[in-house]
Amino acid sequence: MSENMVRCGRCHEVFDTELGPCPKCGTPYKAPAIQAPFEGLFTERYGAAAPEPVAPGAPVAPRGRDRTTYLIWGGVGLISAAVVLALLFSLGLTGGLGATPGPVHEVAPAALPAATLPPTVESTLSQLNDVDFSAHVTIDGRIVMTAEAGGKAQTIVVQFDGIVSGGNQWGTLKVGSKVQEIMVVNGDAYVRTPPTGKWSGVTTVPSYKIICPLFGLKDDNYLAMAGQETVAGQALNHMRSTHWWSPELSRLALYDLSSLRLTPDVQSLDIWSKADGTPVSATYDGTNMAGNTTLFGLHVEYKFSDVGVAQTIAAPGAGWTSSPGPNYGSSASPVPSAK
């Protein structure tokens, strides 16, 4: 291709300048002017020059809405209205604005099912809460406290061996080396120091020395089923207290702990019963620790036998009367002498 070939600035036809003007439109070729190089600063060249005025354009009349646009939006509105009316009819809301609204039925929330324990556990609770509970009961407790808990450091062993029946009780209470026999018959209390002491009536017996009802388990929420265990070849239900249970420590220990400065912050009551709910044994553990040091500790074991066997406990006479021993069987309770 010749070096003289150029493109027409008007019709864009390519032609040879040596042959004359554009053969298509006749426009002569005009070589571009060569601009002399500018000497000076960039700002002097572009900042100082004033912009060329722009001629105002002719006003343009606003474009009117196309008729098709109105038809489209009108169709959309009609379709929307039809959908709304269809929904109203489907809901039965006919009759216009004056139509009578349908009846509103209040729905009462369904009551939550009450938590229930197995029937055998309910039976155990019922017996332990019964003031007329009948059984041979033995209690072995050990109280350990420091000066921070009880004023002075000491360890106290508490034991009870007796019978309860029909709201009455008779048994021997041993606290440390001190032994006392206690009898409660129809609300009257008697005490004596065995083995040869005489019975004497007392105005009252401290409430923590009254055996029944046991453990203060007055609510189903206080006890939960832990499972079943085999003890001495016998299948027993194992129950355990929940965090809702708040016992009276003095009654658990058969010892006055009302002045205790520190109470157990960890405690549990475990109860074992037969398949029919008859209580067999129980264990309480309560502690308050500071690191590895026991500030207060209470461990009590309970055993029940002859459960449900009514015993005769009569008011004592002036003479000496034997007490039920550790090996007291299921035979009738010896009646205190009327001498």
Identify the pLDDT of residue 131.
Answer: 94
Nearest CA to 165 among 185, 180, 182, 191? 185
191 occurs within a structural domain? yes
DSSP symbol at 320: -
Give Cα 259 to chain centroid, integer Å: 33
Write the DSSP string, 256-314. Answer: --TT-SS--SEEEEEEEE-TTS-EEEEEEEEEEEETTEEEEEEEEEEEEESTT------
108 occurs within a structural domain? no
**Is the pLDDT at 233 greater than 60, yes or no?**
yes
Which element (helix H / strand E) includes 68? helix 67-90
**Is the pLDDT at 56 greater than 90, yes or no?**
no
Over residues 115-141, the mean pLDDT reads 88
Mean pLDDT score of the chain: 79
Over residues 126-148, the mean pLDDT reads 95
Identify the pLDDT of residue 334.
Answer: 44
Please tell me which of 56-60, 62-66, 310-314, 316-320 the model is most confident about, judged by mean pLDDT: 310-314
312 occurs within a structural domain? no
53 occurs within a structural domain? no
255 occurs within a structural domain? yes
Identify the pLDDT of residue 319.
Answer: 57
Number of domains composing the chain: 1
282 occurs within a structural domain? yes
Digit-coded pLDDT (tens) for 295-318:
999 999 999 999 999 999 988 876
Confidence of residue 240 (pLDDT cuts 50, 70, 90): very high
CATH number at residue 220: 2.50.20
Answering whether pTM is above 0.95, one says no
**Is the pLDDT at 212 greater than 60, yes or no?**
yes
Question: Containing domain of residue 238, as a range?
Answer: 119-305
